[in-house]
Amino acid sequence: MRDAEWAVFMIGLVLPGTGDLTAGDARRIADGPAPITRPGGMPNSVHGHGVDWAIQAFPAATAARLAERSRRYDPAGVLVAGRWVREASPQV
């Protein structure tokens, strides 16, 4: 999305009794542009966590490249997101 001509910024107030509505609206707004977006997503905007997050956030080729960099520059797996990418893109 770095070369996108637009961006979406959402702010939701969660008041007593409105949490589900606010979360549903955020999901609806985030999913709206899906038909015109490229594979993957902005890592900060992808729902979920762990390996599922990495699979949604990065196309396979990108995940493989990031996993290789993570193995090279963070062999101890200190950065959590790098561990998730590694698990999503196992070394062959």
Over residues 82-92, the pLDDT tens digits come to 899 999 887 65
Residues 50 and 70 in one domain: yes
Residues 4 and 24 in one domain: yes
Residues 33 and 47 in one domain: no
User: What are the CB-based long-range contacts (under 8 Å, 24+) for 54-61?
Assistant: 54/81, 54/84, 54/85, 54/87, 54/88, 54/89, 55/88, 58/85, 58/88, 60/89
Residues 53 and 85 in one domain: yes
Mean pLDDT of the 7-27 span: 81
Residues 88 and 48 in one domain: yes
This model's pTM is above 0.75: no
| Spatial distance between the Cα atoms of 89 and 62, rounded to a whole number of angstroms | 9
Domain housing 58: 43-92
Residues 63 and 83 in one domain: yes
Residue 67 binned pLDDT confidence (cut-offs 50, 70, 90): very high
Over residues 29-49, the pLDDT tens digits come to 877 777 666 667 667 767 777
**How many Cβ atoms sit within 10 Å of the Cβ of residue 83?**
18
